[in-house]
Structure 1
Amino acid sequence: MGSSKQFTPEESQKIQQLRSACSAILNTEQNEDHYLIRWLRARNMDVEKAEEMLRKSMKWRKDNEVDGILEREEVPIKYRRLFPTGDFGRDSEGDVVIFIPYGRYCHRLVIGVEGMETVLRWHIIWMETMNRLVTNAEKETGKKGLRLVQIVDFDQYSYKELTYSPGREFLIKTNKVADENYPELMKSMVIINAPKVFSLLFGVIKPFMSKETISKISIISGNEETWKKELNSKLNPENVPVRWGGTKKGTDEYCSQIPEVWLGTPVPLSYFTSDYKVHDFQTKKIAAGEKFEVEIPVDISKYPEGTTPNLVWKFKVENHDIGFSITCKALSIGNGDNKSESASSSLSSESVESTVNAESRVDSKEGIQEGNCTIYTSGLYTLLLTTDTAIHAPRQFITLSK
């Protein structure tokens, strides 16, 4: 019955041997056959090596206070939205299917702001969450020994993400955590939309992966129709959003606002529909106490009757925080010829500056900022970004799109 197959006489014997050696350090669930067999299989059924591995992992759990971590700690919601994981139900054998939109992850955003140790801590929370998904599925179905099927989408993955050294280091460290402490939790990993640079990424992390892990990874090549068809043959389409070939519907094809699809945290639709990434923007450095302005002249008279222009902005602060505001100096437009003048030349020295968007502080942890406002008055609109002289770091980095 799928992942709940029976053990051979040899496996049963070695499970009992491992249990006898380690039962004192294991809880009730950890003493079960389907838990112990994972450690044995990870060490080619060598009881002594499996015991060594298991004892090291139990010490790791104690040293890092892993037991009960899901009740004590959580990843901030802003990062759960920036690094979402989808629950795509079960495969044909009852194993848990998760979806990872890896190509849209930006590790320089989170590691650069929060630091490696914090992000690694969050990864432990993620691993424990995945383990609980499997445990809950076992309780719901009555099957034992269920595992994870990971669908990893590399759409929008870029070379710049590949060249971010801390991001590669993070991958290597998290793979080590999984191999040493969650053996045989992963049943398989299916990669879709792999870009040309994927081979470079895989070449970097492959030496740090076990042969067993590597053997479970498959790449579906070909166009979208090809990988959708293959995913449908492996998964239950009713649990997969339309975007990835399933039939599950929400307010959009990504089911972005359905909590149960995204582990309780709805994801902004723009996360999936925006083809820009942080590292694709123009980068501007602003020293402490300085400011950066973007001036946009707007002449309402040049727009068709009955229409109004929109001012749209997107930006991201990479370190610390920054002040953001929008002001407008109204145009002094006279009769006739003045309407043909540019917005900037129509301004007089007496033009009164008004506030369109009052200054607010934007923290680097808040991710990409985007907004818009309708323009009803001709004028010179200025988007202003300012740093604070009290900032300890000598420079800030922001990313702009206009």
Structure 2
Amino acid sequence: MSGRVGDLSPKQVEALEKLREAVKDILTPSHDEHCLLRWLRAREFDVKKTETMMRNDVVWRQQVGADTIIEDWAVPEVVEKYYTGGLFGQDKEGALLWIDPFGHIDLKGICRSVKKRDIIKSKIHLLETIYRKFAQLTKEQGRQVDQIVIVFDLEKFGRRHLWKPGADLFCEMVELFEDHYPETQKTCFVINAPTIFPVVYNIVKPFLNEGTAKKVHVLGSNYKDVLKKYIDADQLPIHWGGTACDDNGDPKCSSKICFGGEVPESYYLKMQSSESLNFKEVLVKRGSTVQLDFDIKVAGSGLRWQFTTEGFDLGFGVYRRTENGVRQKAGDMEEVIPTQRVNSHMVPEDGFYTCTEPGVYVLRFDNTYSWARSKQVLYSVEVLVPDDTGATKVWKEVGQADAAIVNGTDT
């Protein structure tokens, strides 16, 4: 049985009912039978694992603001102009078609122009857009539309694409796709694969579940004929063997499919002068962390930070102590902003958080994953407190003179 509506075994029907009961407190109108079965298929109808996955997703969606990201957040211009790919048509069964000439992407240029978190956020924005498109087409066409067919064109893909920060970013986005948009991919066709493709696939494959990995098909030189078995010619650009083109005759349909290209240096983010921002310096030792403590006494105060590292990336997160006066492990503190690795060696990392309640807030630099290199960090932190009118003002001078700095291993 496929595990889809209308094609369920008795055990699958039972699992569906058990899951519906187990997660009834988090169900929304979007959690119809098709949706619940999608989550179940992702965990091979293991109800416990599926429940855990769905509950983790609820927390994640709140953290990233996924439900309103389309209205609340704009994709950075450099990502819109230079991150490859685009939606184009549907396959013969109605699945949306995503064509990605990934071999043309300049990941290093993009990563020098926008923060890693915003690149990831742009992919969440894209996936939420696709899911709204699913709902629209399902209603308009009278059939269930809830998957995409991906065509990865690796023409011009080379060793420059094996750049580690870029590869790590791509794997992180694959993991996000698997964890929060499961069973969305119907199939993936890889075309014009270079000789180094097996190396690339071995990097990505650990982040794919077994079911997704089986949907990846590497096509040979006859790929145009294969694609047309699954996709009608008028739903496929001429460049990939179909008959569709832009109004101006462009066979690549570049108005809908971004071909990337080299990112101009004018987009690159520049670090402000460390002297003008009164930067402080701290060494995060290999296999270790540094915690910067701020005692926030006024609810509604804000923490604003900027930092950069020399040569290598770094983990960063914000926490709130549950026990004052004692160094705590990350797992023992309240997680405010989850720790994630940031490319602070490429672009300055900055952020702001409003402290909704008093307490000791911890800015945590995490280098526990690196046993070979210590990391030098230049940082600046401001604490802002609301005044009587509800506005904010600088409470302490820029810098870290009032922060307790604790260096050690907490994992």
TM-score, normalisation: structure 2: 0.61
Name which one, 1 or 2, has greater alpha-carbon Rg.
1
2:177 is aligned with what amino acid?
A
Count residues in correspondence. 267
Report the alpha carbon displacement of residue 318 of structure 1 after superposing the two structures with TM.
7.0
2:307 corresponds in structure 1 to: none
Deviations 1:96-153 (A, max 9, x none): 1111111111111111221212211112112222222322222222223631111111
CA contact (8 A) 2:85 2:102 kept: no
Alignment of 1:64-143 (within 5 A): 64-143=64-143
CA contact (8 A) 2:78 2:113 kept: no
1:173 is aligned with what amino acid?
E
1:194 is aligned with what amino acid?
A
Deviations 1:292-315 (A, max 9, x none): xxxxxxxxxxxxxxxxxxxxxxx6
Aligned equivalents of 2:223 and 2:193: distance in 1?
Answer: 11
The structure-2 alpha-carbon separation of the partners of 1:254 and 1:217, relative to structure 1 and needing over 3 Å to count, comes to same
Aligned equivalents of 2:145 and 2:241: distance in 1?
Answer: 28
Name the SS of the counterpart of 2:57 in structure 1: helix
The structure-2 alpha-carbon separation of the partners of 1:28 and 1:320, relative to structure 1 and needing over 3 Å to count, comes to closer
Report the alpha carbon displacement of residue 181 of structure 1 after superposing the two structures with TM.
0.8
Aligned equivalents of 1:123 and 1:189: distance in 2?
Answer: 17
CA contact (8 A) 2:84 2:104 kept: no
1:256 corresponds in structure 2 to: 254
Aligned equivalents of 1:13 and 1:33: distance in 2?
Answer: 13
CA contact (8 A) 1:82 1:105 kept: yes
The structure-2 alpha-carbon separation of the partners of 1:66 and 1:154, relative to structure 1 and needing over 3 Å to count, comes to same
1:19 is aligned with what amino acid?
R
Matched, 1:9 2:5: no
Higher normalized helix content (fraction of residues): 1
Report the alpha carbon displacement of residue 7 of structure 1 after superposing the two structures with TM.
3.0
Aligned equivalents of 2:243 and 2:120: distance in 1?
Answer: 35
1:220 corresponds in structure 2 to: 219
TM-score, normalisation: structure 1: 0.62
Aligned equivalents of 2:238 and 2:5: distance in 1?
Answer: 30
1:94 is aligned with what amino acid?
G
2:230 to 221, 234, 239: 234
Aligned equivalents of 2:17 and 2:122: distance in 1?
Answer: 34
Alignment of 1:137-216 (within 5 A): 137-144=137-144, 146-162=146-162, 164-216=163-215
1:256 is aligned with what amino acid?
S
Report the alpha carbon displacement of residue 180 of structure 1 after superposing the two structures with TM.
0.9
2:196 is aligned with what amino acid?
V
The structure-2 alpha-carbon separation of the partners of 1:83 and 1:319, relative to structure 1 and needing over 3 Å to count, comes to closer
1:120 is aligned with what amino acid?
I
Identity %: 27
Structure 2 residues without counterparts, runs of 5 or longer: 271-347, 349-411
**What is the root-mean-square deviation of aligned Cα atoms in Å?**
2.3
CA contact (8 A) 1:34 1:145 kept: no
CA contact (8 A) 1:4 1:144 kept: no
Aligned equivalents of 1:170 and 1:81: distance in 2?
Answer: 18
Name the SS of the counterpart of 1:24 in structure 2: coil
CA contact (8 A) 2:228 2:242 kept: yes
Deviations 1:255-275 (A, max 9, x none): 223xxx44xxxx5xxx58xxx
Aligned equivalents of 2:47 and 2:244: distance in 1?
Answer: 45
The structure-2 alpha-carbon separation of the partners of 1:98 and 1:5, relative to structure 1 and needing over 3 Å to count, comes to farther
The structure-2 alpha-carbon separation of the partners of 1:16 and 1:4, relative to structure 1 and needing over 3 Å to count, comes to closer
Deviations 1:10-47 (A, max 9, x none): 322221221111122121011x1110011111111111
The structure-2 alpha-carbon separation of the partners of 1:110 and 1:227, relative to structure 1 and needing over 3 Å to count, comes to same
The structure-2 alpha-carbon separation of the partners of 1:278 and 1:76, relative to structure 1 and needing over 3 Å to count, comes to closer
The structure-2 alpha-carbon separation of the partners of 1:77 and 1:317, relative to structure 1 and needing over 3 Å to count, comes to closer
1:247 to 243, 249, 257: 243
The structure-2 alpha-carbon separation of the partners of 1:15 and 1:60, relative to structure 1 and needing over 3 Å to count, comes to same
CA contact (8 A) 1:96 1:137 kept: no
